Chain A
């Protein structure tokens, strides 16, 4: 009984103690923040140092707000507050306590002004705080923000951080920063070591610093006195440039692949309806548009589950587009088999109707489809190369769709029947395959894939009534270039056209690159009217 009482007492004291500690922190921070009210910049500078010395998360938030110009004094109550954003009536929180104070009109707030010197010390203080951040990426960012303000103070800080650091990428950044300091050293050996370290760095600041070392000082003498080291510096710059060029090529190749796989995705459905069935479906682009709008609708229906709405949209978009496709096939295309030009015109008419229907239902304005968190952001490989996640996922998605489709056509009973009908309709029907049913299913499959392409496109472009139209010409080019009736040809054609387009862009500009690709395809069709991988066999001439 007594022991329990004692334990309770100790526990209460401990809680009281920690609360008291918290209150003491807030009081100290509050006192320091009071100093910011002064109009004297020197006093404000001291207040910043005091706040920085506090080191708490709230102190960091105050400094960040001060740097961003979001730290205000309320005119009514003379409190230092943090505004959430630059809105006319931002939400405000107490600077010292972090307590929610509702919102205030901008006219009731007075911004705390800082000068450039304060901005520098704020950066340093924030970096110092971030160097201890739990997130490695935040620590790297903190180190890199110090590249411009390397002084004995920050260098000591960096060395301290280096000793304690375990993370590979942060260590790399720290060593780069310290090497930048050593570059100015009077000891040639230090400078040589620094050059050795820096020549592997891709950071833009590093290259600028190295190039600056090659110039002449104010007195006309070269900044780098040692001729041998000057040569090493030149070599280091050359090495950095070469590496950046290679990474640039890799990046262009990635952009090209990304564009290429979007083309593949858009063209795969067409490769089924046009390639396998021989139906020119000009409404294919509008089926993609339907898929994109389906994505948007799914997101509207589940606003609380943004992360998963895109995944949920995939089957929905497939079904919507596939059903629309089956309706088109049963309603119109079926009566026009063997008359490709008429099919082209009729499906074009359908595309106009679908466009206008979307315009009437959803308004002619573009709809924004949100990108879920796991798809946004980028994968930073180094300072010269970063890959955006949405493009990466779209490439993977495109490959998955393509392989699934190939597998369906190749290994399932349905695929066998589809190929049989495509090769010889009468013979297939004589063998008991229901020709009409297979036609509808095949068309539905191709249309469904168009819907899937729409899901992917909703992440890359605006979702609007013209979404389909802008992709239809490209999709046909890919199918024709690859060879009709050949899914692998579509893959090769889409990827190579995408990559070629992106590699031409730096020289020719985006529009001219596209024109060049179009002209190339027009000429290519002249040489090989049946595409890269023509269908062989006696039926090919039909």
Chain B
């Protein structure tokens, strides 16, 4: 009976979803209901920080989907995250309306500053929340579709693919730095006021964003789980382990890779869209090749090819980063670098692999 239940609901899934459910219930109560002077109270700052971690966890999930399950080491996944973030940022910019520094009802501040006569066409429609949300999914998805279609069809694999994904995010970094692009250049998009009419600085909005993030992470986890468990997911794993063999067995390898890449890009884009209202800014540095490689280390530390490992890695590494950068900022890059080196040398399957070895 217990074995059957375990078969049906693996322990890891129960823990991940249970923990997220507990967070969704506990955090709003501890922040909004428990009085400020109680030791159990969670400050709004902490809520936002937790929300940020959960966004990173969602992003790590998307990286794990392509790297852990399909063997595509992408060094440019930050680009999809940032694009989703920019789509959300553009909606939030339009919500500012005439409350900007220049008080221009039609144009965002930086456009007024650069003497733009009118809103460029690619900003049209972003005043509407549904349209912006559609773009959060569509823009990263489309870029992944086009990029992947070219890359996988011409059988660019392994290191080459890693390097051109890095080139992709690097090119986008350079492009978004340009003021002429109309995305705020170096400064990016910031000074957001409200979302769907709710003030972004209010505790209630922060908590609501956190809850939405946690739910999205849970849904992404379930979704990725479903993909991996499906017949389709098994072919993807087969491609990771022996691409040529899968091809000779008659599977269209490029199509499988393409769809998993697109799905992953969409998850990354959604994570970016949730990240922006919580941190209050999106700028081109999110496209930096360095931050994309950092994502990979979250997954590597947590344990690739196990979805909960990716979540654990993202939370752990980012928690460590917060601690180190506030107490001994000098040491953080040493620690991160050591994680890369020691992780790859001694923990090929991350902390999850370590746990499994102990369990045996």
Alpha-carbon gap, A521 to B165, bound state (A): 11
Alpha-carbon gap, A285 to B73, bound state (A): 21
**Chain A residues numbered 447-477 whose CB sits less than 8 Å from any CB in chain B:** 469, 473, 476-477
Contact of A529 among B154, B333, B343 (CB under 8 A): B154
Given contacts A349-B339, A355-B333, contact A514 B174 (CB under 8 A): yes
Alpha-carbon gap, A539 to B158, bound state (A): 16
Judging by beta carbons under 8 Å apart, are B337 and A351 in contact? yes
Judging by beta carbons under 8 Å apart, are B150 and A356 in contact? no
Given contacts A340-B158, A473-B170, contact A345 B296 (CB under 8 A): yes
Q: Which residue of B lies closest to A349 (CB)?
A: B340
Q: Which residue of B lies closest to A280 (CB)?
A: B159
Mask, A496-526, CB within 8 Å of B = 1, is: 0000000000000001101100110111011
Given contacts A522-B168, A526-B154, contact A340 B159 (CB under 8 A): yes
Contact of B167 among A341, A518, A529 (CB under 8 A): A518
Question: Across the interface, which residues of B come within 8 angstroms of A522, CB to CB?
Answer: 147, 150, 164, 167-168, 171
B348 lies within 8 A of chain A by Cβ: yes
Given contacts A511-B177, A512-B178, A526-B154, contact A344 B159 (CB under 8 A): yes
Judging by beta carbons under 8 Å apart, are A346 and B333 in contact? no
Alpha-carbon gap, A346 to B345, bound state (A): 8
Judging by beta carbons under 8 Å apart, are A353 and B154 in contact? no
Contact of A515 among B175, B334, B341, B345 (CB under 8 A): B175
Alpha-carbon gap, A359 to B297, bound state (A): 22
Alpha-carbon gap, A522 to B171, bound state (A): 10
A254 to chain B, nearest CB (A): 24
Given contacts A352-B337, A353-B337, A356-B334, contact A336 B344 (CB under 8 A): yes
B59 lies within 8 A of chain A by Cβ: no
Judging by beta carbons under 8 Å apart, are B340 and A348 in contact? yes
A342 lies within 8 A of chain B by Cβ: yes
Question: Across the interface, which residues of A come within 8 angstroms of B178, CB to CB?
Answer: 511-512
B155 lies within 8 A of chain A by Cβ: yes
Judging by beta carbons under 8 Å apart, are A341 and B160 in contact? no
A281 to chain B, nearest CB (A): 11
Mask, B269-294, CB within 8 Å of A = 1, is: 00000000000000000000110010
B324 to chain A, nearest CB (A): 11
Q: Which residue of A lies closest to B244 (CB)?
A: A541
Contact of B155 among A342, A351, A519, A529 (CB under 8 A): A529
Judging by beta carbons under 8 Å apart, are A345 and B330 in contact? no
Judging by beta carbons under 8 Å apart, are A518 and B171 in contact? yes
Judging by beta carbons under 8 Å apart, are A352 and B333 in contact? yes
B208 lies within 8 A of chain A by Cβ: no
A42 lies within 8 A of chain B by Cβ: no
Q: Which residue of A lies closest to B304 (CB)?
A: A341
Alpha-carbon gap, A363 to B150, bound state (A): 44
Judging by beta carbons under 8 Å apart, are B340 and A352 in contact? yes
Mask, B318-360, CB within 8 Å of A = 1, is: 0000000000001011101111110111001000000000000
Alpha-carbon gap, A281 to B138, bound state (A): 35
B300 lies within 8 A of chain A by Cβ: yes
B15 lies within 8 A of chain A by Cβ: no
Q: For chain B, what secondary structure do more than half of its interface residues adopt (helix, strand, loop), or is it mixed?
A: helix
Judging by beta carbons under 8 Å apart, are A341 and B73 in contact? yes
B163 lies within 8 A of chain A by Cβ: yes
Alpha-carbon gap, A439 to B77, bound state (A): 33
A48 lies within 8 A of chain B by Cβ: no
B156 lies within 8 A of chain A by Cβ: yes
Which of A280, A349, A356, A519 has most B Cβ within 10 Å? Answer: A349
Inter-chain contact total with CB atoms closer than 8 Å? 118
Question: Across the interface, which residues of A come within 8 angstroms of B174, CB to CB?
Answer: 511, 514-515, 518
A335 lies within 8 A of chain B by Cβ: yes
Q: Which residue of B lies closest to A528 (CB)?
A: B154
Judging by beta carbons under 8 Å apart, are A350 and B159 in contact? no
Judging by beta carbons under 8 Å apart, are A349 and B337 in contact? yes
Q: For chain A, what secondary structure do more than half of its interface residues adopt (helix, strand, loop), or is it mixed?
A: helix
Which of A343, A355, A473 has most B Cβ within 10 Å? Answer: A473
Question: Across the interface, which residues of B come within 8 angstroms of A137, CB to CB?
Answer: none
Q: Which residue of B lies closest to A531 (CB)?
A: B160
B44 lies within 8 A of chain A by Cβ: no
Chain B contributes a number of interface residues (CB within 8 A of A) equal to 44
Contact of A350 among B166, B168, B337, B348 (CB under 8 A): B337
Given contacts A352-B333, A360-B330, contact A345 B159 (CB under 8 A): no
Alpha-carbon gap, A522 to B334, bound state (A): 32
Mask, B164-207, CB within 8 Å of A = 1, is: 10111011001101100000000000000000000000000000
B127 lies within 8 A of chain A by Cβ: no
Given contacts A349-B336, A349-B338, contact A344 B162 (CB under 8 A): yes
Given contacts A469-B290, A476-B166, A526-B156, contact A346 B171 (CB under 8 A): no
Alpha-carbon gap, A355 to B337, bound state (A): 10
Which of B73, B150, B336, B341 has most A Cβ within 10 Å? Answer: B341
A480 lies within 8 A of chain B by Cβ: yes
Mask, B131-154, CB within 8 Å of A = 1, is: 000000000000000010011011
A14 lies within 8 A of chain B by Cβ: no
Given contacts A349-B337, A473-B167, contact A342 B154 (CB under 8 A): no
**Chain A residues numbered 347-384 whose CB sits less than 8 Å from any CB in chain B:** 348-353, 355-357, 359-360
Judging by beta carbons under 8 Å apart, are B154 and A527 in contact? yes
Question: Across the interface, which residues of A come within 8 angstroms of B348, CB to CB?
Answer: 342
Alpha-carbon gap, A476 to B76, bound state (A): 15
A32 to chain B, nearest CB (A): 57
Alpha-carbon gap, A473 to B160, bound state (A): 12
A332 lies within 8 A of chain B by Cβ: yes
Given contacts A345-B297, A529-B155, contact A473 B166 (CB under 8 A): yes
Judging by beta carbons under 8 Å apart, are B345 and A336 in contact? yes
Judging by beta carbons under 8 Å apart, are B154 and A352 in contact? no
Judging by beta carbons under 8 Å apart, are A518 and B160 in contact? no
**Chain A residues numbered 392-412 whose CB sits less than 8 Å from any CB in chain B:** none
Judging by beta carbons under 8 Å apart, are B163 and A476 in contact? yes
Contact of A523 among B150, B177, B290 (CB under 8 A): B150
Which of B159, B170, B300, B338 has most A Cβ within 10 Å? Answer: B159
Alpha-carbon gap, A353 to B344, bound state (A): 15
Question: Across the interface, which residues of A come within 8 angstroms of B345, CB to CB?
Answer: 332, 335-336, 346
Alpha-carbon gap, A357 to B147, bound state (A): 37
Judging by beta carbons under 8 Å apart, are A518 and B170 in contact? yes
B270 to chain A, nearest CB (A): 25
Question: Across the interface, which residues of B come within 8 angstroms of A357, CB to CB?
Answer: 334
Judging by beta carbons under 8 Å apart, are B344 and A342 in contact? yes
Alpha-carbon gap, A73 to B168, bound state (A): 64
Alpha-carbon gap, A336 to B175, bound state (A): 35
Which of A341, A512, A525, A529 has most B Cβ within 10 Å? Answer: A341
Cβ-closest 6 pairs across A and B: A349-B340, A353-B337, A356-B333, A352-B337, A518-B171, A349-B337
A-B contact pairs, 7 of them (CB 8 A): A341-B158, A349-B339, A350-B337, A477-B163, A511-B178, A522-B150, A525-B151
Residues of A within 8 A of B (CB): 280, 332, 335-336, 340-346, 348-353, 355-357, 359-360, 469, 473, 476-477, 480, 511-512, 514-515, 518-519, 521-523, 525-527, 529
6 additional A-B pairs beyond A473-B170, A519-B171, A529-B157, beta carbons within 8 Å, are: A349-B340, A352-B336, A353-B338, A359-B330, A514-B171, A526-B151
